[in-house]
A and B are shown apart, each in its own frame.
Chain A
Amino acid sequence: EIVMTQSPATLSVSPGERATLSCRASQSISSTLAWYQQKPGQAPRLLIFGASTRATGIPARFSGSGSGTEFTLAISSLQSEDFAVYYCQQYNNWPLTFGGGTKVEIK
């Protein structure tokens, strides 16, 4: 099983600032990585797939990069609605696996 490790566990950011979230895979997964956003009491929402392609309707302030084992999700200017938990997920190997999540909180 591929282990996905996200860092940091919690990120404190002020509104309008940039946030950078990291995700590392225990082995190479090429670009088969997705990022999800989850708010309390809600289902996850797909933000990014293919490591860098924004899903339909996702604002341009969200960007993904990386390949192989190292990936990054950047949020260029945090809005109030962006404070949430973010998960990365690999879909290169079975079983599909998620990272433990990064909580982005208001500083």
Chain B
Amino acid sequence: QVQLVESGGGVVQPGRSLRLSCAASGFSLSRNDIHWVRQAPGKGLEWVAVLWYDGTEKYNADLVQGRFTLSRDDSKNTLDLQMNSLRAEDTAVYYCARPGDSWGQGTLVTVSS
């Protein structure tokens, strides 16, 4: 069964870092393009980044501003989103997704002092 599960969310102070993880089952991340999409409370969807199967990455530059980094561990079949210098406006549910057919349940990141 194809499934994505995010973890790592929580409450963090502004300026601090957080690392989210996306664990896949039923398929290999190394053969798929996986996106991160976020949704602020009560707001719409915002695309964050994508890691292509070949390791190429693309970010929403205006949103990320060099603060976020993707990394994949093929042995664990996980994709991590390292988020540094977090701001209040980064508060959102973060989803990882294989957009055509599989989304995780999301993990909530709250940036607050």
- The answer to whether B45 and A44 have CB atoms under 8 Å apart is yes
Judge whether B100 and A98 touch: CB under 8 Å: no
Task: Answer whether residue B46 sits at the interface, using C-beta atoms and an 8 A cutoff.
Answer: yes
Chain B, residue nearest A1 (CB): B62
Q: Tell me which residues across on chain A come within 8 A of B59, comparing CB atoms.
A: 95
Taking CB atoms, residues of chain A closer than 8 Å to B103 are 43-45
User: Contact flags (1/0) for A1-40 with B, using CB distance below 8 Å?
Assistant: 1000000000000000000000000000000001010100
Complex formed: what's the CA distance from A46 to B97 in Å?
11
Q: Does A96 count as interface, using CB distance less than 8 angstroms?
A: yes
Find out whether the CB atom of B44 lies under 8 angstroms from the CB atom of A56: no
Q: Tell me, yes or no, whether A64 is within 8 Å of chain B by CB.
A: no
- Name the B residues within 8 Å of A36 (CB-CB): 45
A49: B residues at CB distance < 8 A: 100
Smallest Cβ distance from B20 to chain A, in angstroms?
A: 15
- A38 partner residues in chain B, CB cutoff 8 A: 45
Closest-by-CB residue of B relative to A4 is B44
Whether B95 is near chain A, meaning CB under 8 Å from some CB there, is yes
Kindly list chain A residues whose C-beta atoms are within 8 Å of the C-beta of B105: 43
User: For window 79-113 of chain B, which residues contact chain A by CB distance below 8 Å?
Assistant: 95, 97, 99-101, 103-106
A100 and chain B: residue at smallest CB distance: B44
For the complex, is B27 an interface residue (Cβ under 8 Å from A)? no
Interface string of A44-62 (1 = CB under 8 A from B): 1110010000011000000
Binding site for A on B (CB under 8 A): 35, 37, 44-47, 50, 58-63, 95, 97, 99-101, 103-106
Q: Knowing that A95-B59, A95-B61, A95-B63 touch, tell me 11 more A-B residue pairs with CB under 8 angstroms.
A: A1-B62, A43-B105, A44-B45, A46-B99, A46-B100, A55-B100, A95-B62, A96-B60, A97-B47, A98-B44, A99-B44
